[in-house]
């Protein structure tokens, strides 16, 4: 696919949120994948605000990034946490520079241990409403170009509008329900990833990719497939291995 086709696909993904069976977690994982493809970065993570105002990790492009983002939340520090509080974009943060990481040294050290040397944080914001933040990570010491920065913010904005629009369509009172459901679904998905990875003796990223492909090829929700696997209603032999 060309860059323009990838952008169009991202917009189509956002439009699909208007359907009744919109899967928030699958949408945000797809957003992470689109960003990696379009922006030539190593990894992406997305955090959203829960009903109490606290950030929660909802999606990441791979397992190492998921664990790093959880580390950031546990220590309440990092570019994504700051971006959510301030609503301001932070680009081209050199994780090897003590001056640039002075506000989050523990996170920076963990990020370097994970293999990242650059990061960028973009708010998921509509006007004055900030609902979360998106983190881009790179294992190479290269800046995000101005054009790629605009694309990244555009994708974050499209995702924000899609999420807020779906909440409006679904009714304001369901905002809390959607977030609670997403957090519960995340637990189910993590359990299913672990089960499949153990049975296949493979990595959790490969297991997760296989679950997503199975869900899409059978036109089922990702969370639904994961529950079937946990409950024993889905045989692992029925899932195509990567």
Task: Report which secondary-structure segment, H or E, holds 38.
Answer: helix 24-39
What pLDDT shows up at residue 115? 97
Q: Which fold has domain 3-170?
A: Beta-Lactamase (3.30.450)
Is residue 231 pLDDT above 90, yes or no? yes
Structure tokens at 54: 């606290």
Burial code of 31-42, b = ≥16 C-beta within 10 A, e = fewer?
bbbbbbebbebb
pLDDT at residue 121 is higher than 90: yes
User: CA 61, 62, 65, 66: dihedral to nearest 10 degrees?
Assistant: 90
pTM reported for the whole predicted model: 0.77
CA atoms within 13 A on the CB side of 129: 9
Q: How many percent of the chain have pLDDT more than 70?
A: 86
pLDDT value for 62: 95
**What is the C-alpha separation between 77 and 226, in angstroms, rounded?**
31
Highest mean pLDDT: which of 7-16, 46-55, 56-65, 124-133?
Answer: 56-65
Output the average pLDDT for the chain: 88
Q: How far is residue 184's CA from residue 120's CA, in Å, rounded to a whole number?
A: 28
Q: The tokens 């990696």 sit on which residue? A: 36
pLDDT tens by residue, 71-117:
999 999 999 999 999 999 999 999 999 999 999 999 999 999 999 99
- Over residues 29-77, the pLDDT tens digits come to 988 988 998 898 999 999 999 888 899 999 999 999 999 999 999 999 9
To the question of domain 184-238 being in CATH 1.10.1060.10, the answer is no
User: How confident is the model at residue 20, as a pLDDT?
Assistant: 55
- Where in the chain are the domains? 3-170, 184-238
Provide the pLDDT for residue 164: 83
Cα gap 117→162, rounded to integer Å: 31
Q: Residue 170 above 60 pLDDT?
A: no
> Does residue 81 or residue 24 have the better pLDDT?
81
Q: What is the mean pLDDT of residues 16-27?
A: 69
Give the pLDDT band (50/70/90) at residue 179.
Answer: confident
Return the structure tokens found at 83: 């971006």
CATH topology identical between 3-170 and 184-238: no
E strand or H helix at 62: none
Confidence band for 128, pLDDT divided at 50, 70 and 90: confident
pLDDT score at 159: 86
Please report where in the chains the tokens 């493809």 appear, as a residue. Answer: 37
**90-94 vs 55-60, strand pairing mode:** unpaired
State residue 161's pLDDT score. Answer: 84
Task: Give SS3 for 55.
Answer: strand
Confidence of residue 207 (pLDDT cuts 50, 70, 90): very high
- Pairwise pLDDT comparison (158 vs 197), residue with the higher score: 197
Look at residue 136 in the predicted model and tell me its pLDDT.
Answer: 97
**Distances, alpha carbon 118 to alpha carbons 69, 136, 141, in Å:** 14, 8, 6
In the numeric block, the tokens 């001056």 are attached to 99
Q: Is the pLDDT of residue 21 over 90?
A: no
Q: What is the dihedral of CA 78, 81, 84, 87, to 10 degrees?
A: -30
Residues 20 and 40: their CA atoms lie apart, in Å, by 33
């Amino acid at each position: 696919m060309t860059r323009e086709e990838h952008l169009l696909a991202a917009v189509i993904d956002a439009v699909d949120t208007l359907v009744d069976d919109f899967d928030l977690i699958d949408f945000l994982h797809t957003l992470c994948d689109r960003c990696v493809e379009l922006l030539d970065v190593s990894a992406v993570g997305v955090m959203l605000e829960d009903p109490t105002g606290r950030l929660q990790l909802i999606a990441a492009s791979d397992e190492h990034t998921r664990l790093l983002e959880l580390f950031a939340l546990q220590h309440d520090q990092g570019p994504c946490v700051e971006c959510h509080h301030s609503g301001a974009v932070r680009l081209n943060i050199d994780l090897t520079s003590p001056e640039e990481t002075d506000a989050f040294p523990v996170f920076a050290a963990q990020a370097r241990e994970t293999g990242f040397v650059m990061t960028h944080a973009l708010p998921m914001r509509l006007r004055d409403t900030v609902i979360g933040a998106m983190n881009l990570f790179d294992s190479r010491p290269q800046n995000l170009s101005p054009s790629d920065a605009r694309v990244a913010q555009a994708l974050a904005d499209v995702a924000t509008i899609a999420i807020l629009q779906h909440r409006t369509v679904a009714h304001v009172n369901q905002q809390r329900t959607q977030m609670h459901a997403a957090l519960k679904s995340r637990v189910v998905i993590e359990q299913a990833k672990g089960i499949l990875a153990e049975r296949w003796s493979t990595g959790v990223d490969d297991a997760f990719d296989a679950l997503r492909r199975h869900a899409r090829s059978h036109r089922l929700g990702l969370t639904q497939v994961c529950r079937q696997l946990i409950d024993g209603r889905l045989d692992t032999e029925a899932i195509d291995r990567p």
